[in-house]
């Protein structure tokens, strides 16, 4: 499963954008995937009552669960970033898009889809923070 972030730069400001502006766009992407990964880890993949993602020992300070450990963010291009579960075999089933979900009562948690929707709402605030840092460096 994956959440992808892609930035498209349009207009005269970006046609000849200085390196600092392009660096700020990269910072926005990095901050975005970091925030998305944190949201996925803390809000979406936290311990459920049935203990699906975490062992009981986690409540006592033990393991954080295999699936949560697989979640990672990475820059995969100049203006493209990704949050992924590393191609886990049971990722599609947990997300609810696997072939087995149609034949069982379990319809999945939609963690990556919900994180992507959350990130669409939050990215403006994340971008504003990065742009304020850029303005401080440019002045």
Of 62, 82, 55, the residue nearest 71 (C-alpha): 82
pLDDT of residue 64: 53
Q: Which residue has the tokens 């000849």?
A: 16
pLDDT of residue 121: 94
What does pTM read for this prediction?
0.73
Across 11-38, average pLDDT: 79
Distances (CA, A) of 50 to 27, 46, 91, 119: 38, 11, 18, 27
User: What DSSP string runs through 66-107?
Assistant: HHHHH-EEEEEETTEEEEE--S-TTHHHHHT-SGGGGTSS--
Q: Which residue has the higher pLDDT, 19 or 17?
A: 19
Question: Quick one: pLDDT band at residue 56, thresholds 50, 70, 90?
Answer: very low
Query: What ranges do the domains of the chain cover?
Result: 2-138
């Amino acid at each position: 499963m994956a959440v992808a972030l892609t930035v498209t730069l349009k207009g005269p400001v970006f046609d000849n954008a200085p390196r600092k502006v392009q660096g700020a766009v990269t910072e926005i992407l990095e901050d975005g995937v970091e925030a998305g990964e944190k949201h996925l880890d803390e809000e979406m993949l936290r311990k459920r009552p049935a203990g699906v993602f975490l062992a009981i020992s986690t409540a006592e300070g033990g393991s954080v669960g295999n699936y949560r450990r697989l979640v990672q963010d990475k820059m995969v291009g100049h203006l493209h970033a990704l949050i992924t579960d590393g191609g886990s075999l049971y990722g599609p089933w947990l997300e609810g898009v696997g072939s087995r979900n149609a034949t069982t009562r379990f319809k999945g948690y939609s963690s990556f889809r919900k994180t992507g929707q959350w990130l669409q709402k939050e990215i403006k605030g994340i971008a504003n923070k990065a742009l304020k840092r850029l303005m401080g460096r440019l002045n």
